[in-house]
Chain A
Amino acid sequence: AAGVIQSPRHLIKEKRETATLKCYPIPRHDTVYWYQQGPGQDPQFLISFYEKMQSDKGSIPDRFSAQQFSDYHSELNMSSLELGDSALYFCASSLGPPGTGELFFGEGSRLTVL
């Protein structure tokens, strides 16, 4: 079965650079979520989209922005990168409105900021 696809899997950036992560949800899933996970921590909710509109915002820095496109894929844009942004970034998708149904995760994008 198709899963959530994330790219790139690994990314190395310098401080103050910009990074873009992409997410392709499971087909027919209409809600996409972005999470940040530091070492030994649980996933921290960043932002979600339902039917291509922003649904909810968590602890997402102002330097970050995201959007969901007409084909339901989503991109997380991170600017003015800081060392503390180094983490695993997960995209997840679900069928139905946010907060309902089964939540499926991608394999994540590992961002390292030097």
Chain B
Amino acid sequence: QKEVEQDPGPLSVPEGAIVSLNCTYSNSAFQYFMWYRQYSRKGPELLMYTYSSGNKEDGRFTAQVDKSSKYISLFIRDSQPSDSATYLCAMSGGTGNQFYFGTGTSLTVIP
């Protein structure tokens, strides 16, 4: 079983829709959580970073961490065609640990 599970999709939504992306994990020690956006053949771009639990909002993006359920989410409001990319979640248990990645969810926003 992988440390981090993420539905690979693909996910296709109309422009303006609210997108919900999710990851589950098994290691209760994880406390650093990140979401990345990766365009084809480009480096992953850090979108959201959360330490421990709770919500964080940045523009159209909201990240949620539910440590009791070992579940994290990324919401994209008013989705745009430029949001079409692969979204990766990543997490770590802290000092001395690796970052573990989900397999990525492919998102297409249709104009």
Contacts and interface: CB of A to CB of B under 8 A. Distances in A.
A55 B90 contact: no
A103 B46 contact: yes
Given A43-B101, A98-B97, A108-B42, 13 more contacts: A33-B99, A41-B103, A42-B102, A43-B44, A45-B99, A55-B96, A98-B95, A99-B32, A99-B97, A99-B98, A100-B32, A105-B45, A108-B41
A28 to B, nearest CB: 17
A109 B94 CA distance: 27
A88 B42 CA distance: 9
A58 B34 contact: no
Contact of B99 (A4, A99, A108): A99
13 contacts: A42-B88, A42-B103, A43-B88, A56-B96, A58-B98, A98-B97, A99-B97, A99-B99, A100-B92, A103-B90, A105-B44, A107-B43, A108-B41
Interface string A28-45: 000001000000011101
B33 to A, nearest CB: 11
| B contact face: mostly helix, strand, loop, or mixed | loop
A97 interface: yes
Closest 9 CB pairs of A and B: A99-B97, A42-B101, A105-B43, A99-B92, A107-B43, A97-B95, A102-B49, A105-B44, A42-B103
Interface of A: 4, 33, 41-43, 45, 48, 55-56, 58, 88, 90, 97-108, 110
A69 to B, nearest CB: 22
Interface residues of B, number: 24
A93 to B, nearest CB: 11
A99 B94 contact: yes
A99 B34 CA distance: 12
B98 A56 contact: yes
A97 B97 CA distance: 9
Contacts of A105: 36, 43-46
A103 B99 contact: yes
B75 to A, nearest CB: 20
Contacts of A110: 41
